[in-house]
Structure 1
């Protein structure tokens, strides 16, 4: 392999090592221990956080509680969401998004973010109080408690609702729930003490995920628990949570962090997120937990113990985000609702300082064009234009090496198996022609993080979901729907189902164009002098064509645009350096030569 190709492959390899190694060398936070934490109470099967002076439970999550005739459902209705709150446990456990459907079918179901216990992958939020200071656990509500609706009939942005529960022993518990016009709930918890003695207890919020949810499972995307603790972001992937430290008190795998001033915790995927958000300045303990015996994941915000005096009332305010990870909306909550660094709930990756402004640029372009496919192409053009000075140095170096290719072949032929002679004569040639094979390496290294960030931006944005481009591409978040197996729709056969063996070879129009664009770009680079390496490089575009064929169409459009812009830039620069690449002429000459040999 010639030095230029060695440098290119070395640059790519080093960049991949940096990306993979970052997760191992980046400093990890040490979980902080909750000073108030004690044992767990079963509390009638309640998903209760630990409290002081409580009796350990045999299990944290009981079997599904049978629905009682006393249970009621309080409707949630806004312009963007529809769902309901259960009076059993006061759970926010049914929520669908009006702006998002499961697929493009006109009769498709709405995307359901939260679902009640008893359904597959039950996923809900609940708020409550834990006993402290020797208080009887039966005096506080649990997840089976039936609350009564004391105020309101339906939860809308204009009409909050209030749930109440009287424990019959002098304590009155209330939860006032409000919702904005988007995806943010506000919960005000209160306890009024009508007894003659002070009572000690603490509020908490919890998100419970029953079973491991369906995931994309791509290594560059975080899916699982995510939290911000006083400006420090930490993540626990679903698949890693069973490896957290085991707590005998909790009977679960637990990772705790004490938050002094501001933070949030929840679960996130590529497009949807549910997050507990305590008020700014409110200390709490942030807990990510996996209950192995029940296969339940929880994210919890446990607040400090509070004391309510006779005749007094204590309050706790917090918020809940449950909805789509829309960049503009999340930015609004960060800026206008004081949710510190909420924008980091979007998975920007290790190059976030590049990815964030790049996404802003894509979002701005999309605001003018209104089509994500063309916005991706325009963004790629802008990035390539900004990087042109670096690209110019790389392509000039490649042009020189391409120009020296015939002389290098002669030197190789004359040197035979004498590697020392080959190296000496090559170095002499480089010195004579003032060519440096390594001169194109640094510009390539500098560009790789930028284009990885561009790939990341396109991958994580929800703007691609169900977004059409033109013609047959009606969803940029899904693979190209056309297929070579039915001649791109000319034959009356359906395309293979995703995941089947035929889907691998069912190339669409875009993946084929991608393979051709990679092949064209490769034809401008100096060919490896070693036969095996030359064969590997020749097959690479077509291997990648199949590998990337089932990727989202929006990503394939980005790769095609990048390849074709790169090809054009490199072709023009090589011409300016006196090299006249004849890509298609080489093909024709080769075909004529084969035809002549056959005769």
Structure 2
């Protein structure tokens, strides 16, 4: 009867853990998307909005002293290719990206990242970051001016260019002159990676002084609808920046819509923009420049980040030049850090939401990235990382094994005490504690390696989920993307049956191997004295198999490798001290 009660208690406890894990995982460990559905960057992959908001591209949160430009009528959504085919564009070409500048409005509204593909298919198109206004995923950067009593260029202004292509070697200057003698110029330069520098000049050739201010903005239509690309407890997606002296991770799209006047203002800005899991679009003032900034939602489904400078008087015959920078690209760790060091962009690397354990996660990433560059296979790099961690933790693991071995040696005495005081639980616990003290055993010593594994596992989880360097990296055979879950599921006969099992039942080959290796590892451990614990430990490997199945394949590979190394270490210790293995049988 007691055995049945213990078994029922163990099953109920395991079921509670398994069902409760879904809630915890959704909040703290969102699972990665499957490798064949990562198809968009600059907008949602859901239903398209019917029209483009009429305010898109117009500054929303700037102190505009003069009347705002006329608001254009709402535009019908059109394909990106159709909008780009209309012409009036200056091509952009670098080793990392391609696209064009729209001479209408001087917008940078066409950027594709040529080094990255939308899916793991070799023929998949490159990732599109920016798209022109009037398209489903309109997303662009724009710079301009506000002024008193004079006309300034706007969203419909046709600019004149003095070059034919923007490359790292060939800058392009755009110019436009109003009827009162003020000339506006934008000199665009671009480096080999993702940073565009825009030098804005207003020259006053009119008869009177003018007052003007320059600004830069990023405008985005829509927000991600894929649950794997949305903001979560561990990964920030949405408006971000280094504002008022700190990195902003606590503002999302809904916050902008619910804010007073749909705007959140800041008195200083190092940079600001929008972050996706792997991509970033940001505007950056000149180093040390004082600007005010805002994040806003000018209209439903439309979001904007911008900064503005104070108004300045420009006397006749004088000119004023300001410099804005635009980042549009992948969140490569080394690239972001180089911009911090070389360009003085404060904490740009915080566009990657490392979280509280950045001090631990960044070294894990750098070691894993270095190993990957040495061996050329990301799966092998994970296995080597696991081996290095096991070597570093060998003294602690040895202590754990020593404690386990001592437990095995005194197990007959423990069983005798349990039999003697089975009707007096407090006395049994008291005698067990005395036994531990007499034999110099710490029953909690075996927990230390497990506790140390938790931050390592979390750091590896963040690295796999956040860093672009790990995206779409294959291992062997069917594992084409270690940052995504195992694509082969046992329940649909490895894809032969036309259905996708729910995440809680998506048991793949790696998850099964994980369960088996954990079961083998548990069999080598000393048996728990409590009957309920015995039942729980029997179920635990298969419980973890279900829990870990939806995680990235790289995490399962790490855990499997760790289990195999643990089994090997235990077997080696048993061969070295055979009496330990035989002791409980006496």
Give distance in 2, aligned partners of 1:199 and 1:361.
Answer: 56
Q: Give, in angstroms, the shift of residue 576 of structure 1.
A: 5.2
Q: How does 1:59-208 map to 2 (within 5 A)?
A: 63-64=74-75, 72-131=88-147, 135-136=148-149, 139-142=151-154, 144-208=155-219
C-alpha RMSD of matched pairs (Å)? 3.5
Q: Give, in angstroms, the shift of residue 103 of structure 1.
A: 1.2
Question: TM-score, length-normalised on structure 1?
Answer: 0.79
> 1:227 maps to which residue?
241
Q: How does 1:554-565 map to 2 (within 5 A)?
A: 554-565=554-565
Q: Give, in angstroms, the shift of residue 378 of structure 1.
A: 0.7
State yes or no: 1:258 paired with 2:268.
yes
Q: Report Cα offsets for 1:351-394 as digits up to 9, x if no partner.
A: 11111222221222122111111111111211221122222223
Assess if the C-alpha contact under 8 Å between 1:496 and 1:502 holds in 2: no
> 1:50 maps to which residue?
62
Give distance in 2, aligned partners of 1:90 and 1:188.
Answer: 13
Query: Would the alpha carbon gap of residues 335 and 457 (structure 1) be closer, same or farther in structure 2, given more than 3 Å must change?
Result: same
> 1:345 maps to which residue?
351
Secondary structure of the 2:240 match is strand
Query: Would the alpha carbon gap of residues 471 and 44 (structure 1) be closer, same or farther in structure 2, given more than 3 Å must change?
Result: closer
Query: Would the alpha carbon gap of residues 243 and 432 (structure 1) be closer, same or farther in structure 2, given more than 3 Å must change?
Result: farther
Q: Give, in angstroms, the shift of residue 570 of structure 1.
A: 4.2
Question: TM-score, length-normalised on structure 2?
Answer: 0.81
Query: Would the alpha carbon gap of residues 515 and 43 (structure 1) be closer, same or farther in structure 2, given more than 3 Å must change?
Result: closer
Give distance in 2, aligned partners of 1:193 and 1:48.
Answer: 26
State yes or no: 1:523 paired with 2:523.
yes
Give distance in 2, aligned partners of 1:51 and 1:365.
Answer: 51
Query: Would the alpha carbon gap of residues 337 and 242 (structure 1) be closer, same or farther in structure 2, given more than 3 Å must change?
Result: closer
Q: How does 1:350-369 map to 2 (within 5 A)?
A: 350-369=356-375
Gap runs ≥5 in structure 1: 2-8, 10-16, 22-41, 587-599
Give distance in 2, aligned partners of 1:69 and 1:484.
Answer: 47
Among 388, 407, 417, which residue is 1:411 paired with?
417
Assess if the C-alpha contact under 8 Å between 1:48 and 1:60 holds in 2: no
Give distance in 1, aligned partners of 2:551 and 2:56.
Answer: 48
Gap runs ≥5 in structure 2: 1-5, 7-13, 15-23, 29-53, 78-82
Q: Give, in angstroms, the shift of residue 126 of structure 1.
A: 0.8
> 1:32 maps to which residue?
none
Assess if the C-alpha contact under 8 Å between 1:372 and 1:463 holds in 2: no
Secondary structure of the 1:512 match is helix
Query: Would the alpha carbon gap of residues 427 and 102 (structure 1) be closer, same or farther in structure 2, given more than 3 Å must change?
Result: same
Assess if the C-alpha contact under 8 Å between 2:61 and 2:296 holds in 1: no
Q: Report Cα offsets for 1:238-288 as digits up to 9, x if no partner.
A: 3553476x33xxx213142424xxx21122122111111222111122323
Secondary structure of the 1:88 match is coil
Give distance in 1, aligned partners of 2:575 and 2:238.
Answer: 51
Give distance in 2, aligned partners of 1:290 and 1:236.
Answer: 16
Assess if the C-alpha contact under 8 Å between 2:287 and 2:343 holds in 1: no
